Amino acid sequence: MGLTLTEKILKNHLVDGDFVKGNEIGIKIDQTLTQDATGTMAYLEYEAMGVPRVKTERSVAYIDHNTLQSGFENADDHRFIGSVAKKHGIYFSRPGNGICHQVHLERFGVPGKTLIGSDSHTPTGGGIGMIAIGAGGLDVAVAMGGGAYYITYPKIVKVEFTGRLSPWVAAKDVILEVLKILTVKGGVGKVIEYCGEGVKTLSVPERATITNMGAELGATTSIFPSDETTLEFLKAQNRADVWKELKADDDAVYDEEIKINLSEIVPMAACPHSPDNIKTVDEIGPMKIDQVCIGSCTNSSFMDMMKVAYILKGKTVHPDVSLSIAPGSKQVLNMLAQNGALSVMIDAGARILESACGPCIGMGQSPNSKGVSLRTFNRNFEGRSGTKDGQIYLVSPELAAASSIAGVLTDPRTLGDMPEFKLPEKFVINDNMIVPPAPAEEMDSVEILRGPNIKPFPKTSPLDDTIDAICSLKVGDNITTDHIMPAGAKILPLRSNIPAISKHCFTVCDEEFPERALRLGKSIIVGGSNYGQGSSREHAALAPLYLGVKAVLVKSFARIHRANLINAGILPLTFVNESDYDKIGQGDKLILKNVRQDIISGKSELKLINESKNTEIPVLCELSGRTKDIVLAGGLLDYTREQLTKQD
């Protein structure tokens, strides 16, 4: 029996566990990336482990999220990250060099390698045949220190492409079609592996768009084969030497199979407020729009920008529409400037933003009240744009550009014949905004520069013998990490300061939660299905940790957030019977007796007593040997310290 491409790479990197579906396995990590919104905490955690220099083949620290420097906090974080990178063997991509996933694809990604990043859209690297996975910052810190990264051996879904995309239909429409089929929960515990004759018709940037937004499926990652198209892209980046052919065996066996005819896909949009709320452009109709934002790690490649420039040439943005464009990297921006495409965009009335995440993370460009905003981004969660009642639609760059001219949602297929857009034979290569680390012999003399906003990792403690706590908050289904720990220009600068940022925890759902949780001292949160979907931000676990949350009990978890809770030493529990969700109310007193001993003894089904309602509820606490030890120790940082002490 042959192997899938996913299995080949995972098996080649296996360092711990049995290679059996459903088992926890540890894999060697070749590369890591961080961005500045998660990076400061990741590097504080790395420092706490006491490993002098990273042990990965390549680790890169990017500055792309908190680039709006309205106070000292962001600039201080950038300075701190740059000094840590120089001292500990990490490459530093300076502000303005571009979005981490776009730059990593261009300059560092290698087919067949493993990559984890403290950003949920790290699977972008799957576009060139990497196993690239989003993770919490602490997991990334451990990998930089030479530790394995642990995942559940995933189910593997084969998505077979046939045909080719029709003119003006985009890769964004492809991933919207996949989301329509699988939903935001359909990829949990799975890797999406793309294959078939249709794959050959997709460029690397198009593949990267699809793997990038695969994060919205809840998937562990997504991956394309490494083929002649991959080689063509790497040659153009002057990196042909890292290429190798990678594909699944012809007789590989998959857990699920989906067939999609690219020729049948039409322009679509993800409607408010979920990436899987998919409708065709025809179904939505000529809706009036207020704003268009083009960019993000999903759709900011040179190819995307050239299509936008073609559509805008000789036109003027509709007077009722604000159009902003953010090229994904300095390389892209520079090439647009050199070939005149940037001038075309400016002439049309576009507002050119720096090469950064910007509006996608709520960092500026919030729409007007109840404004309809078309965005080429990957998430449209309520309030994420910075406008609570903003109506955010996720679309392709082609659809976005056409609509910005018309003032209403416009099918790009009405634009007439589409010219052939080709990758350049050579990209402009200038890595002068990537600072290499100090040589090993100079690392001791490098000073770490800390600003006053940078606070240490929250205090942790071993798991209590018994958890006796109030339900401080009860929430429903599809709670995102944006609900738990909001982003945006006002809150993101506090990512280095857990005491300060915790004041905003869950305020989207309940403005009184932070104060109530602190007053209680310790508490339990209860939630519904797919709890913690969205961003990999570990702050959605660290802020509750600081506020005294001891356990989270839900119907089901999103993968990364559950891992982040374990890393923070917070007990992840699920209902045995989902109907028992209705038996708990906010304010109820909940007790888990002898929980520490039960976990030590390997029990997976625990008994939760709701003292307020005089009921007993069975709950699951499914921990493997390693994750059990992490929770017992009080979190991954404590566990790692213990392991390093044993090695010494």
Report the top-level CATH class of 467-647: alpha beta
* Per-residue model confidence as pLDDT tens digits over 38-84: 999 999 999 988 899 999 999 999 999 988 888 899 999 999 999 99
Distances (CA, A) of 499 to 37, 359, 483, 546: 16, 26, 18, 7
Q: Which one from 101, 104, 318, 379 is the annotated catalytic residue? A: 379
Q: Which one from 13, 36, 59, 64 is the annotated catalytic residue? A: 64
DSSP output for 141-192? HHHHTT--EEEE--EEEEEEEES-PPTT--HHHHHHHHHHHH-TTTTBTEEE
Judged by DSSP in three states, 645 sits in helix
The C-alpha atoms of residue 184 and residue 478 are separated, in whole angstroms, by 9
Q: What angle do CA 58, 237, 10 make, to 5 degrees?
A: 45
Q: Which residues contact 619 (CB under 8 A, 6 or more apart)?
A: 553, 573, 574, 575, 576, 605, 606, 607, 608
Domains 268-413 and 467-647 share a fold: no
DSSP character for 471? E
Spell out the SS3 assignment of 555-599. Answer: CCECHHHHHHHHHCCCEEEEECCHHHHHHCCCCCEEEECCHHHHH
pLDDT of residue 535: 85
Instruction: Write phi, then psi, for 495 (nearest 5 degrees).
Output: -60, -20
pLDDT of residue 648: 54
How far out from the chain centre does Cα 567 lie?
A: 17
How far out from the chain centre does Cα 508 lie?
A: 20
The C-alpha atoms of residue 176 and residue 394 are separated, in whole angstroms, by 9
What is the number of other CB atoms lying within 10 angstroms of the CB of residue 452?
10
How far out from the chain centre does Cα 33 lie?
A: 12
The C-alpha atoms of residue 377 and residue 360 are separated, in whole angstroms, by 6
User: What tokens appear for 359 in the block?
Assistant: 């509006």
pLDDT of residue 647: 61
Q: Domain residues of the chain, as ranges?
A: 5-264, 268-413, 467-647
Instruction: Write phi, then psi, for 393 (nearest 5 degrees).
Output: -115, 135
The C-alpha atoms of residue 595 and residue 607 are separated, in whole angstroms, by 9
Distances (CA, A) of 426 to 232, 234, 331, 335, 398: 10, 9, 11, 11, 24
Looking at the domain that runs over 5-264, which CATH code has it been given?
A: 3.30.499.10
Q: Is 119 a catalytic residue?
A: yes
Q: Which helix (H) or strand (E) holds 316?
A: none
User: HSE-up of 488 (CA within 13 Å, CB side)?
Assistant: 20
pLDDT of residue 643: 76
Q: Which one from 78, 537, 559, 562 is the annotated catalytic residue? A: 537
Which residue type does 612 have?
A: S
The C-alpha atoms of residue 531 and residue 614 are separated, in whole angstroms, by 26
Chunked into runs of 10 residues, the chain (648 residues) has average pLDDT values of 96 94 94 95 91 96 92 93 98 98 98 97 98 96 95 96 98 98 95 98 98 96 98 98 98 97 98 97 98 98 98 98 98 98 98 96 92 97 91 98 98 96 96 97 94 88 96 96 89 90 95 97 97 90 96 95 95 97 98 96 96 97 92 91 68
Q: Is 64 a catalytic residue?
A: yes
The C-alpha atoms of residue 283 and residue 269 are separated, in whole angstroms, by 10
Nearest Cα to Cα of residue 523 among 568, 462, 469, 474:
469
Spell out the SS3 assignment of 348-397. Answer: HCCEECCCCCHHHHCCCCCCCCCCEEEECCCCCCCCCCCCCCCEEEECCH
Which residue type does 572 have?
A: P
Spell out the SS3 assignment of 338-359. Answer: HHCHHHHHHHHCCEECCCCCHH
How far out from the chain centre does Cα 217 lie?
A: 11
Q: Which one from 301, 404, 535, 556 is the annotated catalytic residue? A: 535
Q: Is 569 exposed, middle or buried (0-12, 13-18, 19+ CB in 10 A)?
A: buried
Distances (CA, A) of 245 to 67, 158, 297: 37, 19, 25
The C-alpha atoms of residue 41 and residue 68 are separated, in whole angstroms, by 19
The C-alpha atoms of residue 625 and residue 19 are separated, in whole angstroms, by 16
Judged by DSSP in three states, 13 sits in coil
Q: Which residues contact 355 (CB under 8 A, 6 or more apart)?
A: 64, 96, 97, 98, 99, 300, 326, 327, 328, 329, 330, 332, 333
The C-alpha atoms of residue 547 and residue 545 are separated, in whole angstroms, by 5
Nearest Cα to Cα of residue 150 among 604, 580, 610, 562:
562
Instruction: Write phi, then psi, for 339 (nearest 5 degrees).
Output: -95, 0
Instruction: Write phi, then psi, for 219 (nearest 5 degrees).
Output: -70, 150
Q: Are 300 and 326 in contact (CB under 8 A)?
A: yes
Q: Which one from 65, 207, 239, 483 is the annotated catalytic residue? A: 65
Looking at the domain that runs over 268-413, which CATH code has it been given?
A: 3.30.499.10
Exposure letters 318-357 (e unless 16+ CB within 10 A, then b): beebbbbbbbbbbbbbbbbeeeebbebbeebbbebbbbbb
Q: Which one from 119, 139, 482, 580 is the annotated catalytic residue? A: 119
The pairing of strands 372-375 and 149-152 is unpaired
